[in-house]
Structure 1
């Protein structure tokens, strides 16, 4: 499966970045009880720049979807580093999306679709998951979106 996932990433034009190091007192991943818990990941572009801004005030849904997709790429990079191989991914169980939003912005689910749709493109049916998408007034470093994940894993 790893070869097919690697091929799928290449087909989608996705190169996994170096996983982001924690910016505070926590670990990026924790595997326990057959689940890999991944701390919230920020939306870094391929050039390393952070996608910032507040949805509904500074930017639109398209900007947010791009940010959510970049969070998903970083989640996959964290999976690969923690598991050694993406072939250990049995299922993306849950994504939690936090969207920096104006109080009147209500399209957080559309923003989070950027990550959800990428997970399904990469992992197929194993990428379908449950999800929450909430608006928050501010995120670390001014990020537009932050997403965490729970992933079911095999072996170990």
Structure 2
């Protein structure tokens, strides 16, 4: 599978990997896995979607934010894993955090922005386990944050 071709087919150019802004590392490689810290929906160094789902942020905006987060997860793998994206054998798990009002209930639809892109890029190896959690707020007022676990070759 040619990951770069799949990225290009989807109109995706990976951005530079975001630097850690606190006391953590963006990626830990251990036991044949790469665990990627939560990534925000940054594009061009700016958040693409801020605020809360259910309070001015639409499901479509949230889905786009989740997609942007997953692109940043991929950028972290490319930057910090030996062999980059070619080293990924399986997307094992994605975790999504959705800043939302208490009555918002479409978290799964929002997180599909990341999950759908995982399958578009990695094919069957992109199918993964997932958790999606609504939260009161996220760093920098981001609407979505996505983390991931990947099995390496």
Deviation per CA, 1:113-143: give whole Å up to 9, x if none: 0000000000101110000001000000000
Unaligned runs of 5+ in 2: none
Q: SS at 1:138's partner residue?
A: coil
The answer for the alignment partner of 2:99 in structure 1 is 100
The answer for the alignment partner of 2:42 in structure 1 is 44
Distance, in Å, in 2 between the alignment partners of 1:7 and 1:116 is 19
- Determine which structure has the larger strand proportion and give its number: 2
Give TM-score, length-normalised by structure 2: 0.96
The answer for the alignment partner of 2:84 in structure 1 is 85
Give TM-score, length-normalised by structure 1: 0.94
1:27 aligned onto 2:7:
no
- Spell out the pairing of 1:6-155 with structure 2 (5 A cutoff): 6-45=4-43, 47-50=44-47, 51-83=49-81, 84-154=83-153
Q: SS at 1:146's partner residue?
A: strand
In the TM superposition, what is the alpha-carbon distance from 1:63 to its structure 2 partner? 0.6
Deviation per CA, 1:20-55: give whole Å up to 9, x if none: 11111000000000110100000012x332021100
Query: Which 4+ runs in 1 deviate beyond 2 A?
Result: none
In the TM superposition, what is the alpha-carbon distance from 1:87 to its structure 2 partner? 1.2
Q: Matched residue pairs, number? A: 151
